[in-house]
Structures are given as C-alpha cells and as structure tokens.
Amino acid sequence: MSDKNIETARRLFKAVEERDVAGVLATYAPEIVIRDAASLPYGGTHHGLEGAKQHIEVAAQTWNHLQSEAARKMNGVFLNAGEYVVVLWRLKGLEVSSGRTLDSPVVSVYKIRDEKIIESQMFYSDTATIVQFLNGETQA
C-alpha cells in the first residue's frame, strides 16, 4: 500500500507544478482537510473539496506571477511513513522587477487512505520570510 501512497503524493505534486486544479482535486478524498500556515494568504484550515479548491486557487493567485515554470518545480523528496507520506520540497519565487528571490525549504505531511489524500499539512522553515517576500519587503 505504501508504494501507492507515494504515487498518490507524486501525482499531487505533478498537478500542483502544472497548475492542474482538476488533477490536484483528483488526489484528494471528499473529506480532505488541508492545514496551511495561517500567516499566508492561502493559509488556515480548509475542509472538503470546496475548501481545497479555494486553497488551490488562492495559492495560484499568490504565486503564479512570482514563479516561472522552472520555479514551480518543487524538487520533492518523497518518504514512506506507512499511511503517511512526508515530502521535503522547496518553495521558490522571483520578483522580476526587483530581482528579489525566495528559496525556502518546506516539509509536507499527507495522510492517505484508499489512494486518496485525507489530510495535508505544510510546515515552512520560515513563514516570516515568505510573508515579507510576498509583501515586497526586503529581507533583513
């Protein structure tokens, strides 16, 4: 079962990188719960497929103009943890006008049942730096 769980997480990452909303939603169970850092524009707790769709859309609006196709590649490292899959990845961005960049490590944990993600939680190494980047502030 764990190999199938890894494949489910890989499908999710591929869909996110391609900005394929239908593909992302296809990896989620109807009862999905997504927990993301409350300080981010798309943060908080999102329930069900409608909540997931809102999370995806706001995240895409936040990042699309800051990520080229190459920057959307998250370079995920997928770790089998039984009913969980842990993914180590990079959040990258570039503000073209100022040249400011972001490259920050993230850990995501996915609980998977019957080849569908039922829980998703992201752990960022430094949300303050991400928020500063999104707000156009220079990092100290």
Q: Is 140 within the bounds of a domain?
A: no
94 in any annotated domain = yes
Select from 130, 105, 106, 103 the least CA-distant residue to 42. Answer: 130
How many of the other CB atoms lie within 10 Å of CB of 105? 12
Does residue 31 lie within any of the structural domains? yes
Domain of residue 83, CATH code? 3.10.450.50
Residue 139 lies in a domain: no
Return averaged pLDDT per consecutive 10 residues of the chain, 140 residues in all.
Answer: 89 96 98 97 97 96 93 95 97 91 97 98 96 82
Q: What is the pLDDT of residue 137?
A: 83
Domain interval for residue 68 = 2-134
Please state the domain count of the chain: 1
Residue 68 DSSP code = -
Within a domain: residue 97? yes
Question: What global pTM score does this model have?
Answer: 0.93
